[in-house]
Amino acid sequence: MSSIGEQFLGASRRSLARGHERVQDCLGRLNEEQIWWRSGENTNAVGNLVLHLCGNVRQWIVSGAGGAPDARDRDAEFARREVMPTAELTTLLASVVAEADQVMARLTAEELLEQRRIQVYDVTVLEAVHHSVEHFGHHTGQILYITKMATGADLGYYRFLSKKQG
């Protein structure tokens, strides 16, 4: 039987992978104009949200939990207005998620209780992982909504639950 820590890390890895898969799917459904469209100056484009997810996962899991150097420029994630090619965006996200998965794969249950200082917060490694995975989920939901609005499509992620399958 695995420990609660191992269960937590396994669930976190699966959740991050599922969110990553859905964001990549949305990026594949949108053209570059749609990826970088924003409804106003106080909103974020899908492209900015992806850059923000990369920054957050790298800072909180890869650096904070995993010990890699942290060189995040959070403001730049939201400030970018020039189009980054979709292939570059998808590769960047895949790379960061893979690094985070490697960190979570090697963490031990004991390490989850260690303290870290991330941004201005004193947190345990468990809190850092939980924060980042939850944060990824929140922004994944925004990306899904924007994709549905832009394409008019049912993304189909829960179609298998419908009694009207087929």
- Distance between CA atoms of residues 16 and 32, nearest Å: 24
Q: All domains of the chain, ordered by start, with CATH?
A: 4-150 (1.20.120.450)
- Distance between CA atoms of residues 105 and 37, nearest Å: 36
- Residue 165: per-residue pLDDT: 57
DSSP, collapsed to helix, strand or coil, labels residue 165 as coil
- Residue 163: per-residue pLDDT: 79
User: What percentage of the chain has pLDDT greater than the value 90?
Assistant: 92
Task: Kindly state the average pLDDT of the residues 98-112.
Answer: 97
For 45, 71, 79, 165, the CA distances from 64, given in Å and listed in that order, are 26, 11, 24, 43
* Residue type at position 152: G
Please give the mean pLDDT across all residues of the chain. 95
Residue 97 in tokens: 């998620």
* Residue type at position 127: E
- Say yes or no to pLDDT of 47 above 90: yes
